[in-house]
């Protein structure tokens, strides 16, 4: 008796990527043996096996391609990931809910006048490179808002990144669909009581480094770092969509809401 044709699924061509962790590699071998594997560039969906670091790397790799990414946690924290379970993967992909997020666009100018562009899914961080605090001037949409901030640094965060470094720096958590970006100081020295700002996601933030040679700083877009920076401009890149897939009831919005209540 014939088993009949194989049922069609929402995503037919699946590519599996894994981190270097042994658990992630073993999970990839198991899933490839069960479902096969295609080249990531031609896949309908990419399944990333690892932690949040791998998810960020995968999102950066396929930046601008609108390729859905479904993560399964074989790492440590796994805030951006789904739980690992292999036998029902096709059904989970069929039922997955999509979250569309946008990265930040950073233009960083160094002491030689060279400008480098990079994107960040979580945050752009401006960090001191020496024992002395950094001194920075903050301008929003061409208007100076803070003439001098003395601090270990400052970061600009997306709603996705609001639960990451931003939260560790005592910044607020944002719902995923909030049309805002966060500006959060890191160990502010002066003005001591400044706790940051909530900005519309259409804002263009300019950070000018004061006394840049005496007080050098680095600019970091997620995992991409540039040293000896004199100016950083950051804005939301609304033209670039990043698609994350999550199991029903475990969307990024739901996870962010849970974070606000401590579980």
Residue-wise DSSP of 115-153: EEEEEESSEEEEEE-SSSPEEEEEEETTEEEEEEEEEEE
Active site residues: 52
Cα–Cα distance, 37 to 90 (Å, whole number): 13
Which bin fits 168, alpha (ψ -120 to 50), beta or left (φ > 0)? Answer: alpha
Beta partners for residue 135, in sequence order: 150, 210
Is 228 annotated for ligand binding? no
Distance of CA 174 to the CA centre of its chain: 14
Is 166 annotated for ligand binding? yes
Cα–Cα distance, 188 to 53 (Å, whole number): 27
Beta carbons of 138 and 144 less than 8 angstroms apart: yes
Is 211 annotated for ligand binding? no
Is 160 annotated for ligand binding? yes
Length of the chain: 263
Is 150 annotated for ligand binding? no
Is 52 annotated for ligand binding? yes
Strands 180-190 and 143-157: antiparallel
Beta carbons of 236 and 181 less than 8 angstroms apart: yes
Is 26 annotated for ligand binding? no
- The residues, ordered by sequence, that sit 6+ positions from 198 with a Cβ below 8 Å of its Cβ are 172, 180, 181, 182, 183
Exposure class string for 104-143: b at 16+ Cβ within 10 A, else e: bbbbbbbeeeeeeebbbbbbbbbbbeeeebbbbbbbbeee
Is 112 annotated for ligand binding? no
The annotated binding site is made up of: 52-53, 122-123, 152, 160, 163-168
The annotated binding site for NAD(+) is made up of: 52-53, 122-123, 152, 160, 163-168
């Amino acid at each position: 008796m014939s088993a009949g044709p194989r049922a069609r699924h929402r995503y037919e061509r699946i590519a599996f990527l894994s981190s270097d962790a042994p658990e992630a590699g073993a999970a990839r071998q198991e899933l490839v043996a069960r479902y096969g594997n295609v080249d990531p560039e031609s896949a309908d969906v990419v399944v990333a096996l690892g932690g949040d670091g791998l998810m960020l790397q995968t999102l950066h790799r396929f930046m601008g391609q609108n390729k859905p990414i479904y993560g399964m946690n074989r790492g440590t924290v796994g805030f951006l990931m789904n739980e690992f379970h292999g036998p029902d993967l096709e059904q989970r992909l069929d039922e997955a809910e999509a979250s569309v997020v946008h990265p930040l666009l950073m233009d960083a100018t160094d002491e030689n006048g060279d400008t480098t562009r990079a994107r960040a899914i979580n945050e752009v961080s401006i960090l001191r490179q020496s024992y002395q605090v950094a001194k920075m001037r903050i301008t929003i949409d061409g208007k100076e808002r803070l003439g001098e901030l003395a601090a270990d640094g400052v970061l600009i965060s997306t709603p996705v990144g609001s639960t990451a470094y931003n939260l560790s720096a005592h910044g607020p958590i944002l719902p995923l669909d909030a049309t805002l970006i966060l500006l959060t100081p890191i160990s502010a020295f002066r003005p001591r009581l400044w706790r940051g700002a909530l900005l519309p996601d259409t804002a263009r933030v300019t950070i000018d480094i004061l006394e840049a040679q005496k007080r050098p700083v680095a600019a970091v877009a997620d995992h991409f770092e540039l040293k000896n920076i004199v100016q950083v401009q950051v804005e939301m890149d609304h033209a670039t969509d990043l698609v994350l897939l999550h199991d029903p009831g475990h969307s990024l919005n739901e996870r962010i809401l849970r974070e606000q209540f401590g579980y």
